[in-house]
Amino acid sequence: PETGGDTLAEELPAGEDASAEEVLAGNGSSSEEASAEDEIQPGETPPGNDILQEGEIQPEDENSQSEDQTEEEDFDNLMTLDELKDLDNTTAGSTMWKSGFSLFRMIKKEDWSFDAYYVNQEDDHYVEKNQDFSLKYQMEFHTSRNFPEGTVEIRIPSALLIYRDKTPALPDDVAVPLAYPDHPIPSRSTPFDYYIDDEAGELVFFNYREISAGSNAAWQVLYKGLKIMEITDGTEWSLTPKISATIQPAEEGEEVVIETGTLEPLTGRTDSSVTLSSISKMPYSASGKSYTPGLYTESQVKSY
CATH class, domain 89-268, is mainly beta
* pLDDT value for 170: 97
β partners of residue 83 = none
Distance CA 195, CA 268 (A): 24
Q: Assign 4 a pLDDT band (cuts: 50, 70, 90).
A: very low
| Pick from 125, 183, 181: nearest CA to 153 | 181
| Pick from 167, 160, 191, 164: nearest CA to 177 | 191
Decide: 146 and 210 in contact? Cβ < 8 Å. yes
β partners of residue 195 = 204
Decide: 159 and 171 in contact? Cβ < 8 Å. no
Q: Assign 81 a pLDDT band (cuts: 50, 70, 90).
A: confident
* pLDDT value for 99: 76
Chain-centroid distance, C-alpha 180: 16
| Pick from 190, 94, 168, 107: nearest CA to 136 | 94
Compute how many other C-beta atoms are within 10 angstroms of the C-beta atom of residue 238.
13
Decide: 188 and 94 in contact? Cβ < 8 Å. no
Domain assignments of the chain as residue spans, ordered by start = 89-268
Q: Assign 21 a pLDDT band (cuts: 50, 70, 90).
A: very low
Mean pLDDT of 86-111: 81
Chain-centroid distance, C-alpha 277: 52
Helix, strand, coil proportions of the chain in percent (round to 5)? 10, 30, 60
pLDDT digits (tens, 9 = 90+) for 168-203: 999 999 999 999 999 999 999 999 999 999 999 999
Mean pLDDT of 15-41: 45
* pLDDT value for 70: 41
Checking if the pLDDT of 223 tops 60, the result is yes
Which amino acid appears at position 276 of this protein? L
Decide: 111 and 147 in contact? Cβ < 8 Å. no
Q: Is 32 helix (H, G, I), strand (E, B) or coil?
A: helix
| Pick from 210, 173, 179, 185: nearest CA to 94 | 173
Distance CA 23, CA 10 (A): 9
β partners of residue 95 = 218
Mean pLDDT of 252-269: 92
- Kindly provide the residue ranges of all beta strands, DSSP E only, lying in the chain, ordered along the sequence: 94-98, 107-108, 112-118, 126-129, 133-143, 152-157, 173-174, 192-197, 202-207, 215-226, 236-239, 242-247, 257-262, 266-270
* pLDDT value for 292: 61
